[in-house]
Structure 1
Amino acid sequence: MRPGCNLFNAKLGELRKNRTMTPRAAQTTNDLGPYLKSARRSVGLTLRDVEAKTDITNGYLSQIENQLIAKPSPNVLFQLAELYGVEYSDLLVRAGHRVPTAVSGQRAELLNGIPLRALEDLTETEKNDLMDYLKYLKSKR
């Protein structure tokens, strides 16, 4: 072993222990791992408990919590949000995923000019008839 290797390995171990993140990484992950670990502990679950209740292995979750995986899939985040009782959109942001923004108020109330309230008041038969009519219109294109 070269003379400087021990010093290098010691510094590398110290960096891993302190795990300082670059500003870019900090903006992307925004403390997702520690936040998930805290949320899991606050609901009294172990890694194995989470594995038993979801399809997320305890090893994978451990890697997320220890910031070895910075951007888990939205599916994984959704399962954890449901289990921990935290906001799904918050987890998406912390993981660096894009979060869809709400549409403007007027646009949200209309679907291509149709008031959404009108669709809510339909009976099941009327909904089925409407779907059939939409299929018919598409077939005429």
Structure 2
Amino acid sequence: MGGYLAAVRSDRGLTLRQVEEQTGKEVSNAYLSQLENDKVKQPSPNILHALSAIYGIDYIGLMERAGYLNAQQSPTVHKRHGRAATFADIDLSNDEEAELLRFLKFMRSEKKQ
């Protein structure tokens, strides 16, 4: 969960403080840092909801990652926001998806130079 959240935040070009501001201080930068470093394993659903809104990612997917739901319990079939079509049918682990996001960030930074 932590690596995924860090990768998504980084991909969105947001700092910890910017996320804190955009959530109306519902998610403090210190708490988000703890989440991203896996010091907090299961944030509350309202924290996940705030992050999903800021990052533009699927709330149900975050609930699954946090262990509140499993795929069979999900109320709707969801697609992952922003996932490249080439990876839509591949069941990536959370770590693999986070690594792909880090690589994408690297590739985008190379293009800017």
Q: Identify the structure with bigger relative contact order (alpha carbons < 8 Å, sequence gap 6+).
A: 2
Q: Classify the secondary structure of the residue corresponding to 1:62.
A: helix
Pairing 1:36–2:5 present: yes
Amino acid paired to 1:97 = Y
Deviations 1:71-110 (A, max 9, x none): 000000011011001111111111111265448xxxxxxx
> Greater share of helix residues, 1 or 2?
1
Change (3 A) 1:71 1:43: same
TM value normalised by structure 1: 0.48
Identity in percent: 44
Counterpart mapping for 1:72-83 below 5 A:
72-83=43-54
For residue 50 of structure 1, report the CA deviation from its aligned partner. Answer: 0.4
Pairing 1:66–2:66 present: no
* RMSD, aligned α-carbons: 1.5
Change (3 A) 1:96 1:49: same
Detail structure 1 runs of 4+ shifted over 3 Å in the superposition: 99-103
TM value normalised by structure 2: 0.60
Query: Structure 2 CA distance, aligned partners of 1:37 and 1:76?
Result: 15
Query: Structure 2 CA distance, aligned partners of 1:86 and 1:102?
Result: 16
**Which residue, out of 5, 8, 16, partners 1:47?**
16
Unmatched segments (≥5 aa) in structure 1: 1-31, 104-141
Change (3 A) 1:102 1:63: closer
Matched residue, 2:66: 95
Larger radius of gyration: 1
For residue 63 of structure 1, report the CA deviation from its aligned partner. Answer: 0.3
